Amino acid sequence: MNKYGIFLGCTVPVRAINYEVSFRKICSFFNYDLVDVNDFSCCGYPIKSVNQFTSFVLSARNLALAEKNGINTIITLCNACSEMLTYTNHLMKNNSDVRNEINSKLKEIGYEYNGTINVKHAARFIYEDIGIEKLREKVTRPLTGLKLAAYTGCHYTRPSDIYESFDSPEKPETINKIIKALGAEPIVFENSCCGGGILGMKEETAFKMSNTVLSSIKNNNGD
């Protein structure tokens, strides 16, 4: 039996608690039990550009902790958490040198990761584990007439090799399929970078990048 652990990360409990509340209700409705691991910590993403190895160790500690708690799949709500945990998991499973180096640091604090965990973004979990057909069957109030723009961002599908190419990195469709299953109409638009990665260095450029996305949504009947 698959045991699912929910990974909230740093941002969701502070700025996006609606994601958590909504996702917990979805899981409860479809009879999926989520495991909360109190000792989960930062995924490591915020310091990846400063010290990559340390970010991997932070990420791998969470994977090892989930493994220690008998969890099979970690479900993330944040794209950055999803990318960081998935990338580290991919490295640990496929590169023995990296795995040994990271595990040598983890052992100093009583952890070791053996590569038994899967990592999935919440949307991918809905798409693959719950499934489109089951989702469609349960709709009692279809969102007919509502237009929705699914902004996946950079890390939902990229880099594609660590995500097993489950969706197109350039034109992702999984969330649009979920939107259609709920009875709404997905808006096709330019799904480019939001600019968040450079917000702290060049705010004006970041805003221009966000505006490109928003303008594309508006110009494609999303007003």
Q: What is the pLDDT of residues 25-84, one digit of tens each?
A: 999 999 999 999 999 999 999 999 899 999 999 999 999 999 999 999 999 999 999 999
- Per the domain annotation, does 196 fall within a domain? yes
Please give the Cα distance from 24 to 28 (Å, whole number).
Answer: 6
Report pLDDT digits (tens) over 87-141: 999 999 999 999 999 999 999 999 999 999 999 999 999 999 999 999 999 999 9
Average pLDDT over every residue of 200-214:
93
Residues 112 and 156 in one domain: no
- Per the domain annotation, does 134 fall within a domain? no
Inter-residue contact 71 to 3 (CB < 8 Å): yes
Residues 19 and 49 in one domain: yes
Q: How far is CA 204 from CA 151, 156, 191, in A?
A: 21, 25, 19
Residues 90 and 196 in one domain: no
Residues 106 and 154 in one domain: no
- Per the domain annotation, does 126 fall within a domain? no
- Per the domain annotation, does 61 fall within a domain? yes
| Beta-strand relationship, 34-36 and 4-7 | parallel
Residues 109 and 15 in one domain: yes
Among the residues of 40-113, which ranges form H helices? 52-68, 79-94, 96-106
What is the reported pLDDT for 1? 77
What is the reported pLDDT for 6? 98
What is the reported pLDDT for 223? 56
Q: Which domain holds residue 149?
A: 140-222
Please give the Cα distance from 18 to 126 (Å, whole number).
Answer: 17
Residue 75: CATH number of its domain: 1.20.1050.140
Residues 116 and 8 in one domain: yes
Total tally of structural domains belonging to the chain? 2
Report pLDDT digits (tens) over 10-25: 999 999 999 999 999 9
